A = this chain, B = another copy of it.
Amino acid sequence: NFNAAGGTINRIFAPYCVYKGKAALSLSPVLPTFSKLESGAGLKVDRHGVMMLRFWPAMGERKYDWEKRQLFALSATETGSLISLGSKDSCEFFHDPSMLSSNAGQVRKSLSIKPHADGGGYFISLSVNNNILKTNERFTVPVTAAEFAVMKTACSFALPHIMGWDRYTNNQRHGAEGSPSKVDKQILDLEWDK
């Protein structure tokens, strides 16, 4: 685990987990990676961050089989869809994790979020259809309105981080604030400056 500065960083494991009768799900952010511009003048996002959903099945009472987990990585826009979901709305996303390879179309994943009939929560389902392994898996985890509120609040918090926007900050805590600095007072027309 290396960060953009080439140093090791600690991976953090703090997923939000929901355990229900037939399966469990967890949600956690995966941050973007950055690379230095060739000019040396800055850092740009290299691989976008995602909100990672993991599902794994129950294998008995209060026991779950982590080995059988399946993943679904929500992009920033899919995360936007989740956090703007009204209490009667539903949404569905389709992924092909081999999209750009020779296995394109062999594995199909779909994630759906559908409201409970009584409006008090959602069913979150992941289907994984794998033509290579000839498997077809489906996980459904019912989440309460309170659990979905945690997911929404946590995703709203995390969204700017997976976009890399937490890098934009005025908190230059290390700078020696007292050093001399002449800021050009003229109004720069930011809109001219491409």
Chain A interface residues (CB < 8 Å from chain B) = 1-7, 9-14, 16, 28-37, 41-47, 50, 52, 69, 71-73, 76-81, 83-84, 91, 95, 97-98, 100, 109, 144-150, 153-154, 156-161, 163-181, 183, 185, 187-194
Contacts and interface: CB of A to CB of B under 8 A. Distances in A.
Q: How many copies does the complex hold?
A: 4
A44 B46 CA distance: 26
Contact of A45 (B1, B13, B194): B13
Given A32-B170, A80-B153, A12 B164 contact: yes
A4 to B, nearest CB: 6
A176 B5 contact: yes
A154 to B, nearest CB: 6
A83 B149 CA distance: 8
12 contacts: A5-B179, A10-B43, A12-B42, A12-B43, A73-B190, A76-B150, A80-B153, A81-B145, A157-B159, A157-B160, A158-B160, A158-B165
B150 A161 contact: no
Nearest to A158: B165
B36 A181 contact: yes
